[in-house]
């Protein structure tokens, strides 16, 4: 069925969030702080591994790096555009609107949970590849695997950051659903090399999210999201 993968993934996020919020009620504050730091460190290493997987290559028995210019251009130009568009502020405002609609004004972590979880589950190769596969062939196996991973991630985030995490299902549904629809209409509009480059930059953003979760907000990751579009432009340059 066309688009079924996104529905499965969205359902897994909601289910993981609800279970995490339920578990949160029985977890002491000190334990939640430790879990939050553990989530941050885990996310940092997920990001680092994704970056190194693309950057490190062995040439003639020598360990070398590649993609340095791509990473610099993507983060600098993407960050500049993101600041002009104030994407982070818009995400937070959306979180504040949801917070008010749900009468959760006393929940200090609602917006943080919404933004953090949204960034983690939407950034990455599986979201792009799985959505394209779903749109082209109806194969939702990649998104099903992602749904299992997201279930665990969201469960842990919700157990520390609360119910705002559950509503990351909304941008996830829109994001992956849009890619699936584009693939169905336009065909395979991204090469494997381009998907790898986007995943490379996305892993760097995931690293930044991990730093924020583990050590408090250090990076405005929402404003770095346009960096994911720069590899498309970079691929057209003659070098």
User: What's the rounded Cα separation, in Å, for the pair 53 and 193?
Assistant: 14
Residue listed under structure tokens 């995943």: 199
Q: What are the Cα distances from residue 163, in Å, to 86, 93, 225?
A: 25, 16, 24
User: What's the rounded Cα separation, in Å, for the pair 177 and 170?
Assistant: 10
Tens of pLDDT along the chain (239 residues)? 678 999 999 999 999 999 999 988 777 877 878 888 888 898 899 899 989 988 988 888 888 888 899 999 999 999 999 999 999 999 999 999 999 988 888 888 899 999 999 999 998 788 988 999 999 888 989 999 999 989 988 998 998 888 999 999 999 999 999 999 998 888 777 888 888 898 899 999 999 999 998 888 889 999 999 999 999 888 777 66
Domain segments of the chain as ranges? 4-234
Residue 121 has which token pair?
């589950």
Q: What is the 3-state secondary structure (H, E, C) of 188-233?
A: CCCCHHHHHHHHHHHHHHHHHHHHHHHHCCCCCHHHHHHHHCHHHH
């Amino acid at each position: 069925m066309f688009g079924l993968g996104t529905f499965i993934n969205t359902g897994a996020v909601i289910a993981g969030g609800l279970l995490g919020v339920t578990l949160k009620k029985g977890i002491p504050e000190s334990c939640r702080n430790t879990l939050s730091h553990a989530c941050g460190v885990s996310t940092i290493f997920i990001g680092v591994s994704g970056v190194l997987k693309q950057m490190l290559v062995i040439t003639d028995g020598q360990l070398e790096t590649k993609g340095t210019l791509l990473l610099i251009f993507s983060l600098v130009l993407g960050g500049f555009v993101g600041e002009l568009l104030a994407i982070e502020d818009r995400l937070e405002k959306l979180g504040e609107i949801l917070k008010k609609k749900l009468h959760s004004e006393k929940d200090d972590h609602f917006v943080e949970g919404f933004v953090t979880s949204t960034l983690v589950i939407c950034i990455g190769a599986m979201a792009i590849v799985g959505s394209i596969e779903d749109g082209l062939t109806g194969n939702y196996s990649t998104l099903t695997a992602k749904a299992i991973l997201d279930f665990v991630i969201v469960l842990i985030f919700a157990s520390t950051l609360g119910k705002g995490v559950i509503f990351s299902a909304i941008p996830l549904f829109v994001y992956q659903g849009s890619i699936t629809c584009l693939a169905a209409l336009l065909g395979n509009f991204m090469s494997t090399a381009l998907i790898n480059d986007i995943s490379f930059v996305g892993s760097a953003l995931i690293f930044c999210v991990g730093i924020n979760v583990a050590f408090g907000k250090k990076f405005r990751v929402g404003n770095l999201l346009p960096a994911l579009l720069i590899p498309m432009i970079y691929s057209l340059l003659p070098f």
